[in-house]
Amino acid sequence: MRSAQEVARYAGQSFALPQSCSKIRSLLDDPSADAADIADVIALDPSLSSKLLKLANSALFRFPAQVNSIAKAVNVIGGEALYNLALAETASSAFRHFANDVVDLRRFWQQSVYAGLAAKHLARDAKVRGSDEYFVAGLLHQLSELVLAANEPELVADCAQYDKDELPWQRQQRLLGFTYTQCSALILQQWQLPNQFSYIIEHMHDDLKSACGKDLAIGHVSVRLALHMVDNRYQTDSLLSPVALKKLKLEAQDVQDTVKFTQMDAHKLLALMNPELF
């Protein structure tokens, strides 16, 4: 059986981030660059431009006026948000690259998008800056399930045989020696994505860590709500850590509202990101 580090290295060698993502990140970190520079990089990739504009006009943002050009998107949404949208589109490509028959792809996409949208919603309500970062973290939290299935299909199939008496990540830890989120965090490090993504994802299933900051509490709550939404054997009152709820000042009604808004937004976003399945 491969270690989490070996799985991450395989992912890094098998799928490379598009150059546009790296260039956008470099421009964002360059104080002399401006919005026009970012728009120019994205415009060089017509496919990415088209997909980013669709995402910019999707349930992720809810702008009152249509965003009809990359230049306008950079000005209205901001460079960081566009970078995160580029990562979201990259995630879609990675999911397709690693797709296989071992994993229920419909469930996988739903769980990933639910986690991303729930995280964005929670971050926005908690008034945490960069809510789009949380969308990307939620979206990518389960990536290693697909990657591992390409190498250890029988183990991944066994990990999927959880029931209401054993949480999925508990079974992963028992069978693999690590959780999918821990391995996904290592993959993002291989791709040299900003540390905040891997930090949130790595600790999503650490109940104690969820009390250490709003970022980790958001990660914790979002993935557990996503599990509840794809598998109703798991109810929110038994999934969610009281300390995470307290950190985010969430009451039972707030949790129900998050689930409702996530499911509403996910319907259109899933059809946009993977029309073949939805």
- Among the listed residues 199, 213, 205, 196, the one whose alpha carbon sits nearest the alpha carbon of residue 240: 205
H-helix or E-strand spanning residue 104: none
Structural contact between residues 169 and 180, judged by C-beta atoms closer than 8 angstroms: yes
* Cβ 34 vs Cβ 27: under 8 Å: no
- Compute the distance between CA of residue 101 and CA of residue 87 in angstroms, rounded to an integer: 25
- Type of residue at 149: A
The CATH superfamily of 4-273 is: Hypothetical protein af1432 (1.10.3210.10)
Predicted TM-score of the model (pTM) = 0.93
Q: Which residues contact 68 (CB under 8 A, 6 or more apart)?
A: 53
Domain ranges in the chain are 4-273
- Closest by CA to 117, choosing from 221, 195, 202, 201, is 221
> 118 with 138: CB under 8 angstroms?
yes
- Report residue 74 CA to chain centroid gap: 22
- Token duo for residue 11: 């992912």
Helix (H) or strand (E) run with residue 237 in it: helix 236-239
> What is the number of residues in the chain?
278
Q: Which amino acid is at 2?
A: R
User: Exposed, middle or buried, 253 (CB in 10 Å: 0-12/13-18/19+)?
Assistant: exposed
Distance CA 111, CA 161 (A): 16
What angle separates helix 131-140 from helix 195-202, to the nearest 10 degrees?
Answer: 60
pLDDT in tens, the chain (278 residues): 789 999 999 999 999 988 899 999 999 999 999 888 999 999 888 888 998 888 888 888 888 788 888 888 888 888 888 899 899 999 999 999 999 999 999 999 999 999 999 999 999 999 998 889 999 999 999 999 999 999 899 999 999 998 888 999 999 999 999 999 999 999 999 999 999 999 999 999 998 888 789 999 999 999 999 999 999 899 998 899 999 999 999 999 999 999 999 999 999 899 989 888 88
Count other C-beta atoms under 10 Å from residue 47's C-beta.
10
Q: Residue for token digits 């991303």?
A: 116
